[in-house]
């Protein structure tokens, strides 16, 4: 990935984002983690943009340049997960079970992308719990799920050399997206931060195996 040119990029720039873009992405992720921590600790209504900015160590003005409202601050954590799953789907080799590709990143080759760290997994689970009672966060969660489906479909189509709007790829993407959503929400809603295991591999594997029944290798 890092050494391949980006199609249509001026001057043949490689696919690796410039340092400034990577720093911005890292800042967005830091804001997302901070927002979830504060929302969990004191509630969404009681948390202000100023508090999130102070927690991260940036100005409120800077935070407003990244996000239109405090609920949107959590989005980068979800976007990172979507992008990682899409990369893994593009790299899915024939003959390997889908559940092994997405739910067992310890088996992938060195340098291949993996899913969230245990800390980010715990943050995603905390966010899933918050969506049950906060409509603003629920809207962000549902929009991320809606955005994930075409991203997964495009990755699956690229894997098989099919057009981006291939109906089979869209159907498979919907199944994968639904399985991942079911795994995360069920695990989050049936546990608490004190009782959960940070790893989502087991519930994800079960859900993906169910989604993969009848799906071609």
Residues 134-181: tens digit of each pLDDT: 999 999 999 999 999 999 999 999 988 888 788 989 998 999 999 999
Please give the Cα distance from 89 to 153 (Å, whole number).
9
- How much of the chain, in percent, has pLDDT values that exceed 70? 82
The burial class, CB within 10 Å (0-12 / 13-18 / 19+), for 183 is: buried
pLDDT score for 160: 86
Q: Of 11-15, 100-104, 128-132, where does mean pLDDT reach its minimum?
A: 11-15
Query: In angstroms, what CA-CA distances link 180 with 2, 5, 103, 121?
Result: 27, 31, 10, 13
Domains of the chain: 10-212 (1.10.357.10)
Of residues 159 and 36, more confidently modeled = 36
pLDDT score for 15: 56
For helices 75-90 and 118-130, angle between their N-to-C axes, nearest 10 degrees: 120
Most confident of 109-113, 128-132, 187-191: 128-132
Ordered alpha helix ranges (H), 161-200: 167-189
* Residue 3 pLDDT greater than 80, yes or no: no
Residues 90-113: tens digit of each pLDDT: 988 888 888 888 765 544 444 444
Per DSSP, what are the bridge partners of residue 14? Answer: 5
| Nearest CA-CA partner of 35 in 157, 123, 149 | 123
The burial class, CB within 10 Å (0-12 / 13-18 / 19+), for 196 is: middle
């Amino acid at each position: 990935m890092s050494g391949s040119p980006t199609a249509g990029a001026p001057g043949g720039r490689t696919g690796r984002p410039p340092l400034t873009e990577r720093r911005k992405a890292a800042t967005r992720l830091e804001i997302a983690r901070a927002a979830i921590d504060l929302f969990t600790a004191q509630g969404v209504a009681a948390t202000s943009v100023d508090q999130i900015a102070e927690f991260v160590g940036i100005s409120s003005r800077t935070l407003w340049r990244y996000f239109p409202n405090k609920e949107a601050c959590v989005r980068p954590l979800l976007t990172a997960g979507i992008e990682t799953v899409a990369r893994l789907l593009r790299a899915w080799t024939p003959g390997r079970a889908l559940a092994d590709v997405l739910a067992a990143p310890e088996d992938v080759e060195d340098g291949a992308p993996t899913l969230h760290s245990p800390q980010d997994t715990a943050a995603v689970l905390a966010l899933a719990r918050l969506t049950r009672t906060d409509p603003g966060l629920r809207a962000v969660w549902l929009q991320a799920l809606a955005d994930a489906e075409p991203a997964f479909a495009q990755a699956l189509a690229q894997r098989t050399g099919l057009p981006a709007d291939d109906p089979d790829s869209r159907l498979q993407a919907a199944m994968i997206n639904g399985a991942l959503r079911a795994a995360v929400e069920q695990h989050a809603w049936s546990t608490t931060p004190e009782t959960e295991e940070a790893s989502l591999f087991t519930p994800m594997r079960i859900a993906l195996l169910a989604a993969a029944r009848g799906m071609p290798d």
